[in-house]
Amino acid sequence: MKVGVVQFKASTNKETNLKTILDFISKAAQNKATLVAFPEFMMFYTNSSQSPAQLASLAEKLTGNFVKTIAKAARKHHIHVIGSFYEKSTKKDRVYDTAFVIDKTGKIISTYRKIHLYDALGFRESDKMISGSRITLPVNTSIGKVGMMICYDLRFPEMSRSLAASGSEVLVVPSAWVKGDMKEEHWLTLNKTRAIENGCYVIAPDQVGNIYCGRSVVVDPYGKILLDMKKKQGIGYADIKLEKIKKIRKILPLLKNRRTDVYPNLKV
């Protein structure tokens, strides 16, 4: 199955970005991709001067125009779409960072609210966001059973392992990975490690430009990078082969060899 991975520099204008997103969906379908994945914060770029109240005023519900328009495009072009948006919450001046999966009929089949907010390395996403409270179960798509994560979630192996143990064959990680000392090395290492330790594909579309490092990747279950978009904007493609997952999980049965009877509750 062919997957399209979008890497672009989102502007601060929601409507401008939506037009770009629709163009990418059309292009991915024309190139015979069965699924196209977009980066975190595709809705718009939030700069440091934007207040929590301003961000909250621009956020939308899942039923709002932003997601609804993307769903119509998915149906029109008969393609799965994975992306993210700023979702309104009931907490004053706070939003969810929410990922969604839309199927070929335009139906929203899964959503995930980011549970690990990026309160690290000088950033505090919790100043503007509220975290989700659960990991979303894997969902069937055109490229296999997909588990959803978002950006900073990559640094917490418990999450990817929980998704893999629950049946995920592919982890999709919309991201806006901030530039910084060793940050690209962390990004590549974490994506490869999550793929290797779980015997799954990792698809990680990333923002480029502004404060973000790019390097959108697709990694196979043995840790081979199939796609690295470096610093360019556009759409890249990779083939997902479910038989490779089965083969690698058979010869390197990490999920099967876990000793869950021994791991929990160590006593000091």
* Tens of pLDDT, residues 160-182: 999 999 999 999 999 999 999 99
Catalytic residue of the set 14, 88, 114, 145: 114
DSSP designation for 175: B
- Tens of pLDDT along 182-215? 999 999 999 999 999 999 999 999 999 999 999 9
Q: What kind of architecture, by CATH, is found in domain 2-257?
A: 4-Layer Sandwich (3.60)
Burial category of 193 from C-beta neighbours within 10 Å (exposed 0-12, middle 13-18, buried 19 and up): middle
Does the annotation count 40 as an active-site position? yes
Catalytic residue of the set 40, 60, 87, 169: 40
- Give the per-residue pLDDT at 264: 75
Interatomic CA distance for residues 244 and 109, integer angstroms? 26
Does the annotation count 213 as an active-site position? no
- Could you tell me the CA-to-CA distances from 157 to 116, 160, 164, 167 in Å, in that order? 12, 5, 11, 16
Does the annotation count 197 as an active-site position? no
Q: What is the mean pLDDT of the chain?
A: 97
Strand partners, 100: 83, 111
Strand partners, 80: 35
High-pLDDT (> 70) share of the chain, %: 99
Instruction: Name the 3-class secondary structure at 74.
Output: helix
Answer left, alpha or beta for residue 261, where phi above 0 means left and psi between -120 and 50 means alpha.
alpha
> Where residue 263 falls among pLDDT bands split at 50, 70, 90?
confident
Catalytic residue of the set 60, 125, 145, 151: 151
Burial 205-221 (b: 16+ CB within 10 A, else e): bbbbebebbbbbbbbbb
pLDDT at 265 over 80: no
- Tens of pLDDT along 98-157? 999 999 999 999 999 999 999 999 999 999 999 999 999 999 999 999 999 999 999 999
Lowest-confidence range among 45-49, 106-110, 222-226?
45-49
